[in-house]
Structure 1
Amino acid sequence: MTVTWDAPDSDHPARRAAKASMAAVAEGRKDDWISLFTADALVEDPVGPSMLDPEGKGHRGHEGILGFWDSFIGTAKAYRFDVRDSFANGPCCANVTTITITLDDAGTTMTVDCLPIYTVDDDGLITSMRAHWEPDRAMATLTRP
């Protein structure tokens, strides 16, 4: 469970939040992850309708975001984040990222190429995380050992 950062690394509140978010997911720290979000934050992962969010409305507030963790993030065995580029300006940070998800004990993996965009408030808490990726492309990478 790792985060590899091969991208610009200048200090920026949204970049710090993005790094903390990825580290918490990679390390399975649910409580630490939720503490990074405002009480009314929105998580869209992926943006739009998908098998994870059929209506495409996202997961709002701590309760909704925790439900997303419990039904998706927490069900995987491991995450590896490889960040290849990062663009931070205003209250946002967009990262060009590949996430390798180990789905089960047998070592089944899926690779998600994505562009997650983190937006933070004046206190550095995440108000939204919008991950742009295509579920069909990710499903096509499903590899069973």
Structure 2
Amino acid sequence: MNEKNLAYQMSLVSRECLKTKDKKRWLSMWATDGIIEDPIGPTILDPDGAGHSTPEAREAFYDRNIASADIEYIIHDTYTSHLECANIVTLNVLLDIDGKKYSQQVNGVFTYSCNQEGKLTALRGFWEFDEGAATLKELGVA
């Protein structure tokens, strides 16, 4: 793996923004037409499966999926090539839903693509929504 790979570096910045809840920095990482497919295909997170490809859609994605969650993003392995990388990861997610705490674990591959200017053009999550949903556990009242 090339640790200087631009897409890999952007994936690390994204991970840091998740950890620190830095919405402004996370949103600034994106090319104007950058797309988020997390996970890929139709789910309750993206009913038509078209992804989130406008600044407004990416901000809504952040607000729905990142803002109210504590996400531990563990990278097990990474493969890099040109302006792309693929991280094999585990996400340990703590959610606050209507005053109740839940935990969830997602295992998958997350790919990142960027342009020459260092802006993300795509984040794609290869994981099965139903498998992730099956790990959702209630922890109790917040």
TM-score by length of 2: 0.91
Q: Say whether 1:48 aligns with 2:29.
A: no
Secondary structure of the corresponding residue to residue 103 of structure 1: strand
Pick aligned residue for 1:121 from 101, 115, 125:
115
Pick aligned residue for 2:3 from 5, 10, 15:
10
Secondary structure of the corresponding residue to residue 60 of structure 1: coil
Secondary structure of the corresponding residue to residue 137 of structure 2: coil
Query: Root-mean-square deviation (CA), in Å?
Result: 1.4
More strand by percentage = 2
Q: Give the Cα separation in 1 of the matches to 2:10 and 2:16.
A: 10
Q: Give the Cα separation in 1 of the matches to 2:79 and 2:128.
A: 21
Number of residue pairs matched by the alignment = 137
Aligned twin of 1:3: none
The CA deviation string for residues 80-100 of structure 1, in whole angstroms up to 9 with x for no partner, is 011000001021100000001
Comparing 40-49 and 105-114, the one that deviates more: 105-114
- How far does residue 127 in structure 1 lie from its aligned partner after superposition? 0.5
Aligned twin of 1:99: 91
Aligned twin of 1:70: 63
Query: Structure 1 residues 21 and 57, CA, compared in 2 at 3 Å: closer, same or farther?
Result: same
Q: Give the Cα separation in 1 of the matches to 2:68 and 2:46.
A: 16
8 Å Cα contact 1:38-1:61 kept in structure 2: no
The CA deviation string for residues 67-124 of structure 1, in whole angstroms up to 9 with x for no partner, is 1111222132x11011000001021100000001101265420001111100000011
